[in-house]
Chains A and B, each alone.
Chain A
Amino acid sequence: MAHHLFLPLIVPLVSAGVATIISGRRFWARVIAVAATLFNLGYSVWLLATIAATGRQVTQAGGWAAPFGITLMADGLSAIMLLLTALLTLATIMFSLATLDARQERFYYYPLLLLLMFGCSGAFLTGDLFNLYVWFEILLVASFGLITLGGSRAQLEGGLKYVALNLFGSLCFLVGAGLVYGVAGTLNMAHLAERLNAIQEPTLVTAVAGFFLIAFGSKAALAPLFFWLPTSYHTPSIAVTALFGGLLSKVGIYALYRVFGTVFQSELGRLAPLILAVAGVTMVVGVIGAMAQINVRRILAFHIVSQVGYMAMGLGLASVAGLTAGILFMAHNIVVKTALFLIGGAAEHLTGTGDLKQLGGMARREPFLAVLWLLASFALVGIPPLSGFFGKLGLIQAGVAQEQWLIVAVAAGVSLFTLFSMLKIWNEVFWKKAYSDMSRLPRAGAGLLAPAVILVAVSIAMGLGAAPALEYSAFAAEQVFDAAGLARDVCGANGCDAVELAVAR
């Protein structure tokens, strides 16, 4: 029993409560937010090492035995996601210290940020399907608050679309959870994986799996349910956009990996062609949408959609190799996407506009920012030796090994268009001559650049240290597919059904 798994949930929750009470004192609210995030960062690094050494960590809330109570479990994938969540929240807080106005900070910005971290951490740690729904709702409510913080007309409009489509996704998730409870009579993931693999009516299970695919697909912004993302992500403050762009759609992808990799393992082979088709369409539509935009944040938002397609492709290949590459690609993308948002956002913060037509000449004014942009955008496109290359290479290798030529061709082609998009921003924002006089504008300080520097450094480290990163991803992917081992870890040596039978007698 690894009871320490509760710590990354208790600390953000209590900190959010304290930060709410003292929200009038900005300094202390900042201190508490940074301290809680640092704790989560340190804890998740330790958890990563612990899992590599001793395998899965499992605990039961309230001491209720496994298939009856709520299980918390952490494997390699959970630990990676937990680490990246804390890292992104830290970068976001650092960026907000430099850019946010005092009014927004006092309006419960830090409590909402901590609640978002709390919800994401819970979603990555839970081992119970309905509990996963609850964590989704917690992080969604926090994100509703953050996306409308400031209350401008555009934000309310974007927030309304965001809320409506996300509630639709949550409804599908709830219906799926209810149906799966009716079919299998349990909601514990380990127990479900046991039961669903031995079920007599596979058609019913396929229908339920379809509900989960729609629910998580809409959260992850997969085509055709991605419209809420580009319409709402350019409205809130830059720091919030950066955090959402890095994290929120990836929570949906994590849920897809977890639910289809472990719980609906028997259905994954049947749904794989559909997932691959959705992934391909997502990549293409996202990248085409990005070409039509003339606003930095909108371009990047469409690229979130396009990149999510690659992660879905990792699941759709339905093999350990594919999922390994998918996990590696997801880890790289979370870091790099946020870095790009922070760099583009820094330019937007300095000039006061994100419109490509009005920007220009940033390379001359802020050479360091331009170098950061080049590094991050090349990493996103997948130019070796930066981090994006290995994830994409793994995906394409896995696709070639399974002779899925079409999706491989699409993945490779979309990379070129991604490069086109990144060069467009480079040309318009950094390279061309500025039309307006920029000499009066403020210069970028250390506080504005530091979070982007940290994230780009992490990305470069992931590229140079690709071997250990790939190794850990493979380890995590094997753990995701290992349903029998999960049941052993959660319910004891004989599996969950045996426990239930023993209690029934």
Chain B
Amino acid sequence: MYDSIILRNVSRLMFPILLLLSLFMLVRGHNLPGGGFIGGLLAASAFILQIIAYGPMYLRTTFQINFLNLAAFGVIFAALWGLVGLVTGQAYMLAFWLKEPIPGIGKLGTPVLFDVGVYLTVIGVTTQLALVLAEEPTLYPIQRPPARRDAVAPEA
């Protein structure tokens, strides 16, 4: 956690912007650069920015999400949309598209839904990794003696 008033205000402002950008990246993924993985990393960066500004406990209490379960749900979700092809007697992960493009989003189909699963998985795994690393000093504090007898340990 980095104690800075500037960083806190900026991160509060940036959080919705980064999430919107990640959603934009997610839906443009099937014919332009972007997609579930990149969108997921952007969304995870929004969460990780909160960890840096406010500390891991803030994220745990504000968003009461179990990020590992989110990742597991994303894997299941992605795998399920591949099943559509298998159930209809064709190859697994075969793409099915809507006939008409939706204005503003473009064509929708099972690859987009698969990408949503990837998106959730990447958010879950990346944020969980960052949380575990950020919580380590509070969960497993290292006992160090002060450097000099009259010195006080600095506030971490």
Chain A contacts to B: CB under 8 angstroms:
1, 3, 6, 10, 13-14, 16-18, 20-21, 59-63, 108, 111
Contact = CB atoms under 8 A, between A and B. Distances in A.
A17 B95 contact: no
B92 A61 contact: yes
B91 A1 contact: yes
B91 A18 contact: no
25 contacts: A3-B86, A3-B89, A3-B90, A6-B86, A6-B92, A10-B79, A10-B82, A13-B75, A14-B75, A14-B79, A17-B75, A18-B72, A18-B76, A21-B73, A59-B92, A60-B91, A61-B92, A62-B92, A62-B93, A62-B94, A63-B85, A63-B90, A63-B93, A63-B95, A111-B72
Nearest to B77: A17
Contacts of A20: 68-69, 71-72
A225 to B, nearest CB: 29
B83 interface: yes
Contacts of A3: 86, 89-92
A20 to B, nearest CB: 4
Contacts of B68: 20, 108
A232 B71 CA distance: 29
A60 B93 CA distance: 10
A56 to B, nearest CB: 17
Nearest to B121: A17
Contacts of A62: 85, 91-95
Nearest to A19: B72
B94 to A, nearest CB: 5
Residue among A3, A16, A111 with the most chain B CB within 10 A? A3
Given A62-B92, A108-B68, 11 more contacts: A3-B89, A13-B79, A16-B72, A17-B73, A17-B79, A59-B91, A59-B92, A62-B91, A63-B93, A63-B95, A111-B72
A111 B72 CA distance: 10
Given A3-B90, A61-B92, A10 B83 contact: yes
A63 B79 contact: no
Given A17-B75, A63-B85, A10 B69 contact: no
Interface in B42-90: 68-69, 71-73, 75-76, 79-80, 82-83, 85-86, 89-90
B144 to A, nearest CB: 19
Contacts of B83: 10
Nearest to A111: B72
Nearest to B91: A63
Residue among A10, A17, A20, A61 with the most chain B CB within 10 A? A17
B27 to A, nearest CB: 20
A117 B83 CA distance: 20
Interface in B85-107: 85-86, 89-95
A222 to B, nearest CB: 33
A15 to B, nearest CB: 9
Contacts of A60: 91
A61 B92 CA distance: 6
B117 to A, nearest CB: 10
A467 to B, nearest CB: 37
A175 B75 CA distance: 29
Contacts of B79: 10, 13-14, 17
B92 A10 contact: yes
A240 to B, nearest CB: 20
Contacts of A14: 75-76, 79-80
Nearest to A59: B91
Nearest to A69: B91
A21 B89 contact: no
B140 to A, nearest CB: 10
B76 A61 contact: no
Contacts of B72: 16-18, 20-21, 111
A263 B71 CA distance: 36
A61 B73 contact: no
State the 3 A-B residue pairs at the shortest beta-carbon distance, nearest first.
Answer: A20-B72, A6-B92, A17-B76
B79 to A, nearest CB: 5
A59 B72 CA distance: 27
Interface string B111-142: 00000000000000000000000000000000
B130 to A, nearest CB: 18
Contacts of B92: 3, 6, 10, 59, 61-62
Interface string B3-17: 000000000000000
